[in-house]
Structure 1
Amino acid sequence: MPSRRCLASLALATLLATAAPLAAENSAPSVPAVTAKAPSGVWYEIFVRSWYDTNGDGIGDLDGVTAKLDYLKSLGVSGIWLMPINTSPSYHGYDVTDYYGINPQYGTLADFRHLLVEAHKRGIKIIMDMVINHSGNENRWFKAALDPKSPYHDWYSWANKYTDLASDSVTGSTAWHATTKKSAPDQYYLGIFAPIMPDLNYDNPAVRAEMIKVGQYWLKQGVDGFRLDAARHIYENFPWDVDDASAQAKNFAWWNQYRRGLDAVNPHTYLVGEVTRDRASELAPWLKPLDAVFNFPLAKQLIAAAGSERNLGLGPSLDHTYAAYEAVGGAAIKDAPFLSNHDQERVMSQLDDNPQHMRTAAAMLLTLPGEPYIYYGEELGTQGRKPDPDLRQPMRWQRSSTAKGETTWEAGSPANGADVSVAAEQTDSQSLLHLYTRLIHWRSEVPALRDGGFRAYPEASDHLVAWERTAPHGTVLVVHNLSGQTQTMALDVPGRPHFSRVLKQTGPGATIHADTLSVPAYTSVVLQ
């Protein structure tokens, strides 16, 4: 199953302040502009099925997202990414059968419009998961396409007599799948993720026009943009397509066309792409057609540094990353950093349930440039390992998993017990939830953390990682002690600003004496 798969924060602040309501189709209510004065620039990924159940069927719903907007507001997030909410027969929703519909298990279009209105009242933007590389095999387009005489037949890619039906796709799965309809024997279609997900054929102008129309439709309902599932795979279907200049050129041509089509409805549309590449140089070119791409290599680096308690050259690596991004995207750093998502094992599990390592990983993420993304439950320390359904377990609100509103579509892991719940952690001032809340609010309170540039700071120890964040309103120095022992570092670095005051710290005890900073174990500080 695909991941299935930024605007810089300053750009987002402008967008939030100026975005005008869009006229919605089907007599949709007016959606007010977002009015947050000091957004954090932090996004929060929600799997609706696992979020909050308002009708007692055990499945989360859109009204449940609305019901918990005040929780998200208190957490300090500026936006929500909703995993697929379109009509689909699967639990995950990545095989869409109606791009203009809402999954009835989640509610109605009216429910979605209500969510948009209430989110925008709170200064929270909403982007939808746009599953654009492929449809579901139950989609009416694909059903019609089984007839070679149908105009929909060319909406998908079909094997011919020269096709190697045994070839693998770029994802490592079987590329070609046989149709099962008796009236259409011996037909094989391309589906690089799974048989239930036939790839759309973007060489067909009708497909391009239709998918732009889909995006425009949801913008008119009031959404603020899209997370683009499997963005690189529109034209990267086989191993030999990777790094092929012509395949990449066709990808970019499509995404530029898509951008123009959406801008015709809302020129402030935010597009963040799932581009699963391993190096910053491979991600940077995508910042031309898109506003941001998820920084997969950085996620690995942050977790490795936190888990090993060593900086592993993180600062210089980030200097290289942001230089590559700025060369393409301009002076503002456009990035979408994260620690994990719905396709990856949860951060707490990757860190072997070490709460201190989890805290340092969170602190590093939320003091970086761009617009960070948090996967739901990450702020509680929720655990989860493969297979995929176990990465998408119910969000725990109350200490009891059978309390009102808890989703029960899948049993939760024993590792995510009563203490890993919003109710438990809200009453504990030292909880991970309180730390996440504090860190997210730092981004609203310290403009340089949200809007500033980046420059790595010379570390005095491999247990420290430090960087400067500079904005027109000032420069701050961020220092993370990744280890279990107090660490010190010199602040009299030639050619660098003089930092003399501890502005923020995740725990008590950080001091500056005679141009030397002392940072307690597993503590992060911001200096002015």
Structure 2
Amino acid sequence: MIFRFKSRIIWATVFSLSLILVAFSHRSPTNLAGSKLAVAPYPHTVFVHLFEWRWDDIAQECESYLAPHGYGAVQISPAAEHVVLPQQGFPWWQRYQPVSYQLVSRSGSRSQLAQMIDRCHKVGVKIYADAVINHMAADASGIGSAGTKFDRYQYPGLYEPKDFNTCRKGIQNYNDRQQVTQCELVGLPDLDTSNPSVQQRIVEHLIDLVSLGVDGFRIDAAKHIDAADIDRILKRVYQAVDPDPFIYQEVLDPGNEATKKQDYYANGRVIEAEYGRAVSERFMGMSGAIAQLETLGETWGLMPSEKAIVFIDNHDKQRGHAGGGNYLTYKNGKLYELANVFMLAHPYGIPQVMSSYAFSHPDQGPPADAQGNTQPVYQNGQAHCLESWMCEHRRPIVAAMVNFRNQVGADSPIAHWWSNGNNQIAFGRGSSGFVVINRESEPLTQTLQTSLPPGAYCNVLAAEANFAPQSNSQQCQDGAIVIVDAQQQITVTLEGMAALAIHIGAKAG
């Protein structure tokens, strides 16, 4: 990867042929013994948010799990120096209150960040950084994670009072666009992002991250930054680096406010938070049944698929923040898994998988010691999940569907939609894959039309139950083989609260 900085060229990373081969090796998932598991033919677009993970743990996860299972990228927590709040129990949101743009956070140091990015790149996994550029830390005074002392509106060597908008009060009216972009979001000092000197500091911060190898940015609180300001900032970044980083913006548009998501389309992709609510409510039975998802898309008020980043939940929504509520989370068990199966099987948007930690209070920070030092996920070379770290991305049914999406691609159309009119659905993805979801408690027995070539296929959701990523083979277990007959039909019997998925990359025999 080559980064171009103004008039000189810096070779940030030069991959040898051997490293290129390593980077692409993860495209051959674990084989099924006696079966044929093909190389995934499409780009790996699914990414996972490893929320509050340490840089060292992310590096190991890229190598040990993400690459072998087909994840394309990781969204990391904000890398910049942030406020430290021991009196409030080191909450998760202290990461979203920058003190400086030094790359020292509770996830690790600058050098650890750089090493993590390099290790992930070597196995073909990209890194997307959460960029907090709308505001700074809210306290009257304090000390940051790199030891920087600050006062409100005074951040040494970076910003002073003249760099902030003059509306020094909270947002009262979300139908007033000027308030939304110039007043203070939950009391956070709002940067004057129309100011060229402020833009320059933000540009330098983003370029610094790209120089370490960051591949893209989530623009936090983009709704509170004028779209034209983001455009000016990104154009200056694009002038300095090559290739352009991938951009997606947090623009929460419930449909009844002055801010409109379409205002931000020109800058990059936009997070479609209403997607997760719509899918979750159907799986929870709060707004009809999952059969209604047949028409999911723009007719529901969602943005065009080619602009959307989607999730079932994220770090805000699972806590009821940022307009949260009615979102399935890890706490919902099987319902949450089935909703993720649907998201990863359906062609709408680019999916983000959540990977969180257990919490009982919405402000609760990651697992940590008494001094606020984040506890590692990996201990003695093994990931310790389902204790404090939930690792939803490692749930076998979720990981299997990541590979399903890699096999069928993002653009293959939905084919042969079937439903019982309630909470049992099935659909194909072109001639490459087929999925069945039974949200009901009673078993589903049905003959279904597919577009798959006749033959024996492995239900990858069943086969994944004992999936070992380090293994070179795995038996397609008894009961997991699905026959597509000469009429391209399958007859399935599926227990309640379960799913089935077959694709051309996992043919049995």
1:255 aligned to which of 230, 243, 247: 230
C-alpha change, 1:437 and 1:280, in structure 2 (3 Å) is farther
Match of 2:292 in 1: 313
Distance in 2 (alpha carbons) for counterparts of 1:367 and 1:280: 30
Match of 1:30 in 2: 12
Q: Is the 8 A contact 2:433 2:501 kept in 1?
A: no
Match of 2:400 in 1: 438
Q: Is the 8 A contact 1:343 1:391 kept in 2?
A: no
Distance in 2 (alpha carbons) for counterparts of 1:361 and 1:131: 29
Match of 1:182 in 2: none
Match of 1:79 in 2: 73
Match of 1:207 in 2: 198
Structure 1 residue 144: Cα displacement:
8.9
Distance in 1 (alpha carbons) for counterparts of 2:124 and 2:221: 28
Match of 1:5 in 2: none
One-letter identity of the residue aligned with 2:112 = D
1:502-517 aligned within 5 A: 503=457, 505=459, 506-507=461-462, 508=479, 515=489, 517=491
Match of 2:31 in 1: none
C-alpha change, 1:297 and 1:109, in structure 2 (3 Å) is same
2:425 aligned to which of 465, 468, 471: 465
Match of 2:162 in 1: 154
2:282 matches 1:288: no
1:268-283 aligned within 5 A: 268-278=244-254
TM-score, length of structure 1 as denominator length:
0.66
Match of 1:42 in 2: 46
C-alpha change, 1:371 and 1:317, in structure 2 (3 Å) is closer
Unmatched 5+ stretches in structure 2: 28-39, 85-89, 320-324, 369-373, 463-478, 505-509
Match of 1:130 in 2: 131
Distance in 2 (alpha carbons) for counterparts of 1:141 and 1:456: 61
Structure 1 residue 511: Cα displacement:
6.0
Q: Is the 8 A contact 1:315 1:466 kept in 2?
A: no
CA RMSD of aligned residues (A): 4.6
Distance in 2 (alpha carbons) for counterparts of 1:155 and 1:455: 54
Distance in 2 (alpha carbons) for counterparts of 1:350 and 1:144: 37
Distance in 2 (alpha carbons) for counterparts of 1:397 and 1:152: 38
Q: Is the 8 A contact 1:227 1:272 kept in 2?
A: yes
Match of 2:437 in 1: 480
Match of 2:108 in 1: 107
1:486-525 aligned within 5 A: 486-488=443-445, 491=448, 503=457, 505=459, 506-507=461-462, 508=479, 515=489, 517-521=491-495, 522-525=498-501
1:403-422 aligned within 5 A: 417=387
In structure 2, the residue corresponding to 1:389 is in which secondary structure? coil
Match of 1:340 in 2: 313
Distance in 2 (alpha carbons) for counterparts of 1:144 and 1:300: 36
Q: Is the 8 A contact 1:44 1:373 kept in 2?
A: yes
After superposition, the C-alpha distances for 1:39-87 in whole angstroms (9 at most, x for unaligned) are 4312111234xx3xxxxxxxxx423322333232234311111111211
In structure 2, the residue corresponding to 1:357 is in which secondary structure? helix
Match of 2:467 in 1: none
One-letter identity of the residue aligned with 2:343 = L
In structure 2, the residue corresponding to 1:483 is in which secondary structure? coil
Match of 2:277 in 1: 300
Q: Is the 8 A contact 1:87 1:96 kept in 2?
A: yes
Distance in 2 (alpha carbons) for counterparts of 1:225 and 1:396: 25
Match of 2:507 in 1: none
Structure 1 residue 407: Cα displacement:
11
2:60 aligned to which of 67, 72, 75: 67
After superposition, the C-alpha distances for 1:364-405 in whole angstroms (9 at most, x for unaligned) are 12213333212224xxxx65454231677878857xxxx668
C-alpha change, 1:47 and 1:317, in structure 2 (3 Å) is closer
Structure 1 residue 209: Cα displacement:
2.6
Distance in 1 (alpha carbons) for counterparts of 2:125 and 2:333: 29
Structure 1 residue 258: Cα displacement:
2.6
Distance in 2 (alpha carbons) for counterparts of 1:458 and 1:339: 22
TM-score, length of structure 2 as denominator length:
0.68
Match of 1:219 in 2: 210
Q: Is the 8 A contact 1:43 1:373 kept in 2?
A: yes
One-letter identity of the residue aligned with 1:340 = D
Percent identity (aligned): 17
After superposition, the C-alpha distances for 1:333-384 in whole angstroms (9 at most, x for unaligned) are 343221222223279994685533232122112213333212224xxxx654
Distance in 1 (alpha carbons) for counterparts of 2:133 and 2:408: 35
C-alpha change, 1:290 and 1:457, in structure 2 (3 Å) is farther
Tell me how many residue pairs correspond in the alignment.
423
In structure 2, the residue corresponding to 1:126 is in which secondary structure? strand
Distance in 2 (alpha carbons) for counterparts of 1:319 and 1:87: 39
C-alpha change, 1:434 and 1:481, in structure 2 (3 Å) is same
Match of 2:466 in 1: none
Match of 2:34 in 1: none
One-letter identity of the residue aligned with 2:395 = L
Q: Is the 8 A contact 2:218 2:247 kept in 1?
A: yes
Distance in 2 (alpha carbons) for counterparts of 1:267 and 1:483: 47
Match of 1:358 in 2: 336
2:362 aligned to which of 379, 387, 403: 387
After superposition, the C-alpha distances for 1:424-473 in whole angstroms (9 at most, x for unaligned) are x9xxxxx97222222222233x133x443457825343222344434xxx
After superposition, the C-alpha distances for 1:210-247 in whole angstroms (9 at most, x for unaligned) are 2222212221222111111011111xxxxxxxxxxxxx
Structure 1 residue 525: Cα displacement:
2.6
In structure 2, the residue corresponding to 1:345 is in which secondary structure? helix
